[in-house]
């Protein structure tokens, strides 16, 4: 029996292709849930399937002390994401954040304070959960969490002082309601961190790897991070987590961190393949343009309770007056998969290559769902 931690949407997916899923009864769905954004290229992308098959015929996992051509090539790409980059690979976004948390403690041993934004979400493992704001996730483990201060953007700038080890921020808050960071604030925060010596950690687990129209969403948010965390779509949905930082700041102590499956050849080969797909087809521009068009389409939805539409690239949120979970369930009933972003926002995470028909179908279904729920209220 599966743990209650998984939750249930009452849908058993048995097949996927591109931006579509099919359930056990053969019903087709537009998948703008996309594995919580991890299926960045949709399902069963032919190039990624080919890479996975080829890689699976060789080494699956090696352990930290051994090298591999795919690992070396992928790490070289990752190191170029920020100046003088150095990377550590794990298996998920939460693991990437945990690595960043340990790293900043190692690099700033005399500084004890950790800061994050209100509405932030950084994961649900114990260290990442301490950085996450939502009391719903924190409450059962509150006494075991390390101390983290959560501030509004205005108060955060004032809170960054000489005793702060690190500040964790998302360029676009996803779980917290799809709130893009104001570039003016991001620039001011970066400057303040440089001034005080606090490390700036950008959590790009959902916003990075092309989803928001650039390899990293941080520059567009005015951020100049010392550490970046990535995951979700990096390997097209195959488990991988990335923590990359400026090597001139230092490193983990020898054997100070580890991951049995991190940097396995399968994940590295797929990560290299997604990097190639992004750059070869200029998918950054596609994400920016298609995302803008989708937000405009959603803004034209004339239905009760439809509020502000916001986001960047293919990370899109719609404010609603009702309960977001009810709207998500009604969308699923109409053959469109989405997810909540807090109690009053419906989030859409379309994959690259989603068809114009799928975008239109999602917008149409949202209007139908809101009208149906308004009749029942």
pLDDT at 64 over 90: no
Contact 174, 211 (CB under 8 A): no
User: Does 38 map to a domain?
Assistant: no
The pairing of strands 20-23 and 28-31 is: antiparallel
pLDDT of 286 strictly over 90? yes
Same domain, 261 and 286: no
In a domain, 41, yes or no: no
C-alpha to C-alpha distance for 250 and 333, rounded to whole angstroms: 51
Q: Which of 249, 280, 311 marks a domain boundary? A: 280
Within-domain flag for 39: no
pLDDT tens for each residue of 77-113: 999 999 999 999 999 999 999 999 999 999 999 999 9
- pLDDT of res. 3: 79
Distances (CA, A) of 114 to 130, 131, 159, 329: 10, 8, 10, 37
Number of domains in the chain: 2
110 and 9 in one domain?
Answer: no
Do residues 237 and 93 share a domain? Answer: yes
| 258, two tokens | 């580890």
* Residues in Cβ contact with 92 at an 8 Å cutoff, skipping those fewer than 6 apart: 231, 239, 240, 241
Q: Do 96 and 229 belong to one domain? A: yes
* Residue 24 and residue 95 in one domain: no
| Within a domain: 15 | yes
Question: Residues 103-146: pLDDT tens digits?
Answer: 999 999 999 999 999 999 999 999 999 999 999 999 999 999 99
Q: What is the mean pLDDT of the chain?
A: 96
- Using CA atoms, how far apart are residues 117 and 121, in angstroms rounded to an integer? 9
CA pair distance 206, 175, nearest whole angstrom: 9
Query: Could you tell me the two tokens for 250?
Result: 């230092």
Q: Which domain holds residue 337?
A: 4-31+282-376
Question: Scanning the structure block, which residue is given the tokens 């051509």?
Answer: 69
Residues 213 and 291: their CA atoms lie apart, in Å, by 9
> Is the same domain home to 223 and 300?
no
Q: What is the pLDDT of residue 65?
A: 80
Residues 11, 144 share a domain: no
Q: Report, as an integer, the average pLDDT of 9-29.
A: 96
Q: Is the pLDDT of residue 4 over 80?
A: no
Q: How confident is the model at residue 68 (pLDDT cuts 50, 70, 90)?
A: very high
Are residue 270 and residue 360 in the same domain, yes or no? no
CA atoms within 13 A on the CB side of 29: 28
Over residues 199-255, the pLDDT tens digits come to 999 999 999 999 999 999 999 999 999 999 999 999 999 999 999 999 999 999 988
Give the domain-ending residue among 254, 280, 306: 280
The per-residue pLDDT for 8 is: 84
User: What CATH number is given to the structural domain containing 110?
Assistant: 3.40.640.10
Asked which of 280, 304, 331 is the last residue of a domain, the reply is 280
Determine the Cα–Cα distance for residues 58 and 45; give it in Å rounded to an integer: 21
Q: Mind listing the pLDDT tens digit for each residue in 43-61? A: 999 999 999 999 999 999 9
Q: Is the domain of 221 the same as that of 267?
A: yes
pLDDT band at 63 (very low <50, low <70, confident <90, very high): confident
Kind of pairing, strands 241-246 and 85-90? antiparallel
Answer yes or no: do 274 and 292 share one domain: no
Residues 355-371 have pLDDT tens digits of 999 999 999 999 999 99
376 pLDDT more than 80: no
Q: What is the CA radius of gyration of the chain?
A: 20
Do 307 and 173 reside in the same domain of the chain? no
Q: Would residue 370 count as lying in a domain?
A: yes
Say how far apart CA 88 and CA 252 lie, in whole Å: 10
Pair 294, 243 in one domain: no
Residue 377 has pLDDT above 70, yes or no: no
């Amino acid at each position: 029996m599966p743990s209650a931690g998984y939750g249930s949407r009452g849908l058993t997916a048995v097949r996927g292709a591109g931006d579509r899923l099919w359930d056990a009864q053969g019903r087709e769905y537009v998948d703008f849930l996309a594995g919580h954004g991890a299926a960045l290229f949709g399902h069963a992308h032919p190039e990624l399937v080919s890479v996975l098959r080829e890689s699976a015929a060789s080494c699956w996992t090696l352990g930290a002390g051994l090298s591999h051509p795919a690992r070396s090539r992928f790490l070289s790409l990752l190191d170029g994401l920020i100046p003088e980059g150095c990377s550590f690979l794990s298996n998920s976004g939460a693991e990437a954040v945990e690595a960043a948390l340990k790293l900043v403690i190692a690099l700033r041993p005399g500084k004890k304070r950790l800061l994050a934004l209100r509405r932030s979400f950084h994961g649900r493992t114990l260290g990442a959960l301490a950085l996450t704001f939502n009391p719903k996730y924190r409450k059962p483990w509150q006494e075991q969490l390390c101390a983290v201060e959560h501030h509004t953007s205005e108060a955060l700038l004032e809170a960054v002082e000489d005793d702060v080890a690190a500040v964790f921020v998302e360029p676009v808050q996803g779980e917290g309601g799809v709130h893009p960071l104001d570039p003016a604030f991001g620039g001011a925060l970066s400057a303040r961190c440089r001034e005080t010596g606090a490390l700036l950690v950008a959590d790009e687990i959902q916003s990075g790897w092309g989803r928001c129209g650039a390899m990293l969403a941080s520059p567009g948010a005015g951020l100049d991070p010392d550490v970046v965390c990535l995951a979700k779509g990096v390997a097209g949905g195959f488990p991988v987590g990335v923590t990359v930082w400026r090597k001139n700041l230092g490193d983990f102590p020898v054997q100070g961190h580890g991951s049995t499956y991190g940097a396995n050849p399968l994940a590295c080969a797929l990560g290299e393949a997604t990097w190639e797909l992004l750059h070869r087809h200029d998918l950054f521009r596609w994400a920016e343009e298609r995302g803008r068009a989708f937000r405009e389409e959603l803004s034209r939805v004339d239905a009760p309770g439809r509020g502000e539409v916001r986001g960047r690239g293919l990370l899109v949120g719609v404010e609603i007056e009702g309960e977001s979970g009810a709207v998500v369930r009604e969308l699923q009933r109409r053959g469109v998969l989405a997810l909540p972003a807090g109690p009053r926002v419906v989030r859409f995470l379309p994959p690259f290559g989603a068809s114009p028909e799928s975008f239109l179908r999602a917008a149409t279904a949202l209007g139908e769902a809101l009208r149906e729920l308004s009749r029942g209220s």
